[in-house]
Amino acid sequence: MPEPGWIDEIFDGVRYGLEGTVVAEEQSAFQRVSIIESKRYGKGLLLDGCWMTAEGQERHYHESLVHPALCGAEAIDRVLVIGGGDGGTARECLRHGSVQELHMVEIDGLVVDWSKQHLPSLGGGCWTDPRFQLSVGDGIAWAAAAADASYNVVIVDGSDPAGPAEGLFNRAFFENCRRILKPGGVFATQSESPEAFRQVHIDTVKLLREVFGYADPMYGWVPMYPSGWWSWTFAATDGARYRQVQADRAAAIAAGCEIWSPRWQRGAFDAIPAFMERALNQ
């Protein structure tokens, strides 16, 4: 057992560290997977040395990624999640009773296995929910192979655009996501930090606007990601429907949310910094 110490992610002259111990670490076929036990936020997951999630502060990320999409799409019968191997995104989706089928395509089986074993609160009941179907494989290929208009919601819960997640930020992938969306559907992706990854963020939002017609970033907070200031971007073909919250769906989930509420969502879309509004309108 290693001694307790600091587990840091270093990015561009800044480091964010949690005090704790590495409890499991292995090189999978895709990346180095680490599980840590931290003093402040409980157990956590790193991929290639980058913080992904932790038990004690995962709600902001997962509620932000899921509920604007699931409360805005016309119907939510069929949902596709690409990535999301820790289970947190699937858990939040399945809180919506109208979801009939949830397909999750995660490339790295070790992330799923270790999340079930070490981070059971992340997935909660998702792993045994009869609506949930896991495929361990390539989400980009899945999106390319899926039938036209086969999902109401497509959610991309991937890591930074390097390594296995690189193909989750390009036009060909986004065009397939658009193609497989049903009319009235919503697409959602994490879209990096407006500060630490400013250009990737701007390029992603602009490309989604080109491909879907409508796309808007929403801003929030993930302290363990570079700069702590994070974004999620939502897209649709028939208007900014991800900004309109269906009241019955909101009412059914609100009491179980720590961060998300219709008011919080409205604020998080409006809280676009002035420099970013200028950059996106150029």
Q: Is 67 annotated as a binding residue?
A: no
How many residues touch its own copies (CB under 8 A)? 44
At 11, list the tokens: 């990015």
Please tell me whether residue 190 binds its own copies under the rule CB under 8 A. no
Please tell me whether residue 261 binds its own copies under the rule CB under 8 A. yes
At 187, list the tokens: 């697409």
Nearer to its own copies, 51 or 173 (CB): 51
Please tell me whether residue 8 binds its own copies under the rule CB under 8 A. yes
Please tell me whether residue 2 binds its own copies under the rule CB under 8 A. no
77 classed as catalytic: no
Please tell me whether residue 175 binds its own copies under the rule CB under 8 A. no
Please tell me whether residue 266 binds its own copies under the rule CB under 8 A. yes
> How many angstroms separate the CA atoms of 197 and 211, rounded?
21
- Candidates 108, 157, 160, 216; catalytic one: 157
| Binding segment toward its own copies, per CB under 8 A, in 17-25, 116-124, 173-181, 204-212 | 17-25
| Binding segment toward its own copies, per CB under 8 A, in 44-52, 91-99, 197-205, 252-260 | 252-260
The long-range contacts involving 217-221, CB below 8 angstroms and separated by at least 24 positions, are 217/191, 217/269, 217/272, 217/276, 217/280, 218/64, 218/68, 218/265, 218/268, 218/269, 219/194, 219/268, 219/271, 219/272, 219/273, 220/60, 220/61, 220/64, 220/259, 220/268, 221/60
| Binding segment toward its own copies, per CB under 8 A, in 92-100, 143-151, 204-212, 224-232 | 224-232
Q: Which of residues 33-52 bind its own copies (CB under 8 A)?
A: 38-41
Question: Which of residues 221, 246, 279, 280 is near its own copies by CB under 8 A?
Answer: 221
Please tell me whether residue 220 binds its own copies under the rule CB under 8 A. yes
Q: Please choose, from the candidates 136, 135, 154, the residue with its C-alpha nearest in 3D space to the C-alpha of residue 65.
A: 154
Question: Residues 122, 63: contact at Cβ < 8 Å?
Answer: no
Helix (H, G, I), strand (E, B) or coil at 132: strand
> How many angstroms separate the CA atoms of 66 and 53, rounded?
15
Instruction: State the amino acid at position 176 in one-letter form.
Output: N
Q: Is 5 annotated as a binding residue?
A: no
Q: Is 63 annotated as a binding residue?
A: no
At 40, list the tokens: 């402040």
What is the DSSP secondary structure assignment for residue 45, as one 8-state letter?
A: E
Q: Which residues are catalytic?
A: 157
Binding residues: 31, 62, 86, 106, 138-139, 164
- Interface ranges with its own copies (CB under 8 A): 6, 8, 12-20, 38-41, 57, 60, 195, 219-221, 223, 227-229, 254, 257-261, 263-264, 266-275, 277
